[in-house]
């Protein structure tokens, strides 16, 4: 799914809530001083450096940092406050400019078994949805 505006992105995220048990945040450029980490400092995620193959990625990313949280509404609020997953606008030269404060962070929603319900691929501007997870 592509071309979702901020409102549609947030609606999609909320639609996954009933089945979401874990939220994974993949900081493609590292998590040092990222505003989302600061916003979620009261929550205790598991942290892993280096990310393997996952939805949207056919190869591993050894420099990325993955933070895995149990679902908490504070994560959803923080993502909303940062402006959603991605929003692109064209410049006069036709280039695309990223317009949220989330930056190059991918978000995955997982069920109790750790299976993906949906994920974002920020650098591609994609929202990946499993058929059975579509609203």
Summarised one tens digit per residue, pLDDT across range 1-44 is: 445 677 787 888 888 999 999 999 999 888 998 999 999 999 99
Beta strands 96-98 and 61-70 are unpaired
Q: Which of 110, 126, 123 is nearest to 27 (CA)?
A: 123
If residue 107 lies in a helix (H) or strand (E), which one and from where to where? strand 105-110
Q: For residues 30-52, b (16+ Cβ closer than 10 Å) or e, as one string? A: ebeebebbebbeeeebeeeeebe
Q: Report whether pLDDT(126) > 50.
A: yes
Which two three-digit tokens encode residue 64?
A: 């990325």
pTM comes to: 0.83
What confidence tens digit (pLDDT) does each residue in 96-105 have? 555 677 778 8
Residue boundaries of the structural domains of the chain: 6-133
Q: Report whether pLDDT(46) > 80.
A: yes
The region of weakest confidence among 10-14, 34-38, 87-91, 113-117 is 87-91
The residues near 93 (Cβ < 8 Å, ≥ 6 apart) are: none
Euclidean distance between CA atoms 115 and 6, whole angstroms: 25
Q: Report whether pLDDT(56) > 90.
A: no
């Amino acid at each position: 799914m592509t071309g979702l505006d901020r409102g549609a992105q947030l609606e999609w995220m909320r639609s996954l809530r009933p089945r979401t048990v874990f939220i994974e945040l993949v900081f493609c450029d590292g998590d040092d001083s990222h505003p989302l980490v600061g916003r979620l400092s009261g929550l205790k995620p598991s942290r892993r450096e280096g990310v393997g193959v996952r939805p949207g990625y056919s190869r591993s990313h050894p420099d990325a940092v993955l933070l895995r949280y149990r679902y908490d509404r504070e994560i959803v609020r923080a993502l909303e406050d940062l402006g959603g997953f991605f929003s692109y606008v064209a410049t006069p030269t036709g280039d695309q400019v990223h317009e949220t404060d989330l930056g190059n962070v991918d978000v995955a929603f997982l069920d109790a078994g750790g299976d993906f319900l949906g994920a974002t691929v920020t650098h591609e501007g994609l929202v990946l949805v499993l058929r059975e997870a579509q609203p």
